[in-house]
Chain A
Amino acid sequence: MSRVLILGATSAIAQEVARGFAIDGARFFLVARNETALADIAADLEVRGATEVATHTADLGDLALLDELCETARAALGGIDVALIAHGVLPDQAACEASGAAMLDVMRINTQSPAALMTRLGNIMAAQGSGSLIVISSVAGDRGRPSNYIYGASKAFLSVMGEGMALAFAPRGVNVLVVKPGFVDTPMTNAFPKGPLWASAQAVGGDIVAAVKKGKRGVIYTPFWWRFIMLVIRFAPGFVVRKI
């Protein structure tokens, strides 16, 4: 029975991942800002088979809280088998271009906070000698594009850090997994028109759960074919990337 910590538990992808572990009777420690949504999610997971669900209201953008939060979760669960870092924002690119403060705000939530959590949770799991540490990055971090390079940059940091941690922590029994979803139909992307490249949060969550259960580490793309799309985009010349 897994002990699962989810940071940003109200995100659509995080909810689907949680459901995948609930079926197996997992115990949860869920962290997010919205108390009502947390209570709803806890009830849902319990019906789906979770053995126990604890919820904790916190603003993960508050960097000073994070170390203590990890310790609280570890103590509550009695150890952490799976930690999912799922919080993040899709910023208004124009606002970030206009203001350094707005840009730094995004970096705090999307980059600094997850990176601090990765550091702390990595150490907790290394001390345990086991665990899966999953961070949700994005295909947007694979190449800077004119329309969303702030978001992309905030995720690129996590991709590189997680990739390196995966190699560094494997000998210590810890699986670090960077998840790079493509376009996912969630409340975060509500404003975008959807086309054939879009995947459901359910499909992406299912991929993540399957990867964790198989003990994968390193980087996964979800749906898997984004690996090939991004391979092409990474090597495409600038005048092509300018148009997408």
Chain B
Amino acid sequence: MNSAATKAMSWGRYPRVTQNVVRMTDRHAPLPLPAEGSVLPYGLGRSYGDSCLNGGGTLIETRALRRFISFDRQTGEIACEAGVSLADIIEVALPHGWFLPVTPGTKFVTLGGAIANDVHGKNHHRAGSIGRHVRSFELLRSDGSRLLCSPWENADQFAATIGGLGLTGLVTQATLQLKPTASAFLGGQSIKFGGLDEFFVLSAESAASHEYVVSWIDCLGRGETFGRGHFLRANVLDAEEARGLKAGRPLPLAVPITPPISLINGLSLKAFNAAYYNRQRAHIVEKVWSLDAFHYPLDAIANWNRIYGPKGFLQYQAVVPTRDQRDVSEALLAEISRSGQGSFLVVLKVFGDHLSPGLLSFPMPGTTLALDFPIKGEATFALLDRLDAIVMEAGGRIYPAKDARMSPACFMRGYPQLETFRKFVDPRMSSSFARRVMENVR
């Protein structure tokens, strides 16, 4: 269990910090704690900002904790070590008719990371966040204690650890309830819409009819084209409908090196977004997707995050409560459109009413919006501060898994249970994110 100073990075490649990295290779072993300084569990580094970094401290890499423990093919309950990735789980479970109850937009995250961020997906309106499907886990604390946590046992630690950003201890293993799936394909529609009103009508009517719903909006649209986008909705095909379908072999695409400058700029973006919107002529197109094509389109391009160049990028994801969701979404989109800085497409989704089980869980009833921003210095940070102000005013919150820059005040307002959460933080655990938004601010 050596420690070597390395520049482990987050997915946004910003900020860059230096930290020691040690590895956990045996779930029965004690935590590989250094003599001094803080530690933070680190999985596949897919958090975008600094919540998976621990500048000046130590990361405990969990990737070697890759063993499955049990899988009941009748009930769909699967237990595995925390470093098992969602891709690993799909590989094992799908042939037996089981799929993830909730999945984020990449399968290259560890189960531990999925729990620590209480991730959500395109079926949030039906299934809520992943924490609702976690039956139990073992939490290893720096004092050597091991707590079995579930909604019934150590329930307060359970609630603190789900969405707890790795600050409450290291999850060594977890048990997840999978969902039955009739096939590995989805069928549904891609519907063009001209503005936000149409989007909310489509969302409301699709919530009952479709398991998976998500939308893409052209964030550069102005005037007539403001708020235009594509609305995707899908259900899993049954075995009969999926008969004879074959998933295409993925092309070995990758961004092999980091270009010297960001390839995302005003010109390339305008062209891309317009082309993306117009590629579909008809108002409604019936579609069939493989699981990978539907859930993980970006996983097909290895290291796509390099496209933003050496400065990296910021992802921004906020949720605003149901009450003013239409007007606040419009205000956010207008601010982004005015700035001309947003990248690619905004992801827009209406969350369901399921309560998230974590003290610091991100999802709440309302509308969530996510997009990337190439870092163009102060202007980018100022824009995101303006977006924060709109979100805070509306009573919304920002997603820590995506964040590298929100203010402590913004975090505190968005997460009213923060004071309760503090009681469960492990004294040896910390992160760059935690020090930035949780410390010295009371």
In B1-32, the 8 Å CB interface with A consists of: 1-2, 4, 23, 25-28
A44 CA to B89 CA, complexed, in Å: 12
Q: Are B25 and A47 touching (Cβ within 8 A)?
A: no
* B residues near A43, Cβ cutoff 8 Å: 67-70
B269 at the interface (CB under 8 A from A): no
Q: B25 contacts which of A187, A191, A193 (Cβ < 8 Å)?
A: A187
Residue of B nearest to A23 (CB): B91
* B residues near A12, Cβ cutoff 8 Å: 64
A187 CA to B63 CA, complexed, in Å: 12
Contact with B along A26-54 (1 / 0, CB 8 A): 00000000001100110110011100000
Measured as residues with beta carbon below 8 angstroms from the partner, the interface class of chain A is 10 to 19
* A residues near B2, Cβ cutoff 8 Å: 190-191
Q: Are B92 and A190 touching (Cβ within 8 A)?
A: no
Q: Are A44 and B28 touching (Cβ within 8 A)?
A: no
Measured CB to CB, the closest approach of chain A to B70, in angstroms, equals 6
A40 CA to B84 CA, complexed, in Å: 14
Q: Are B68 and A47 touching (Cβ within 8 A)?
A: yes
Measured as residues with beta carbon below 8 angstroms from the partner, the interface class of chain B is 10 to 19
Q: B92 contacts which of A41, A48, A194 (Cβ < 8 Å)?
A: A48
Q: Are B4 and A47 touching (Cβ within 8 A)?
A: no
Residue of A36, A47, A187, A193 ringed by the most chain B CB atoms within 10 A: A47
A36 CA to B64 CA, complexed, in Å: 16
List the 9 closest pairs (A to B, CB-CB), nearest first.
A47-B68, A44-B67, A47-B71, A44-B68, A191-B2, A190-B2, A187-B25, A43-B69, A193-B4
Q: A47-B69, A191-B2 are in contact. List 4 more A-B contacts (CB 8 A).
A: A37-B26, A43-B67, A43-B68, A47-B68
B371 at the interface (CB under 8 A from A): no
Q: A48 contacts which of B1, B28, B68 (Cβ < 8 Å)?
A: B68
A37 CA to B27 CA, complexed, in Å: 10
* A residues near B70, Cβ cutoff 8 Å: 43, 47
Q: Are A40 and B1 touching (Cβ within 8 A)?
A: no
* A residues near B67, Cβ cutoff 8 Å: 40-41, 43-44
Measured CB to CB, the closest approach of chain A to B400, in angstroms, equals 29
Measured CB to CB, the closest approach of chain B to A195, in angstroms, equals 11
B387 at the interface (CB under 8 A from A): no
Measured CB to CB, the closest approach of chain A to B362, in angstroms, equals 30
B116 at the interface (CB under 8 A from A): no
Residue of A nearest to B22 (CB): A190
A70 CA to B2 CA, complexed, in Å: 36
Contact with A along B99-131 (1 / 0, CB 8 A): 000000000000000000000000000000000
A12 CA to B68 CA, complexed, in Å: 15
Contact with B along A59-87 (1 / 0, CB 8 A): 00000000000000000000000000000
Measured CB to CB, the closest approach of chain B to A223, in angstroms, equals 16
* B residues near A48, Cβ cutoff 8 Å: 68, 92
B328 at the interface (CB under 8 A from A): no
Q: Give 26 A-B contacts (CB < 8 Å), ordered by A residue.
A: A36-B28, A37-B26, A40-B27, A41-B67, A43-B67, A43-B68, A43-B69, A43-B70, A44-B67, A44-B68, A44-B69, A47-B68, A47-B69, A47-B70, A47-B71, A47-B78, A48-B68, A48-B92, A49-B92, A187-B25, A187-B64, A190-B1, A190-B2, A190-B23, A191-B2, A194-B4
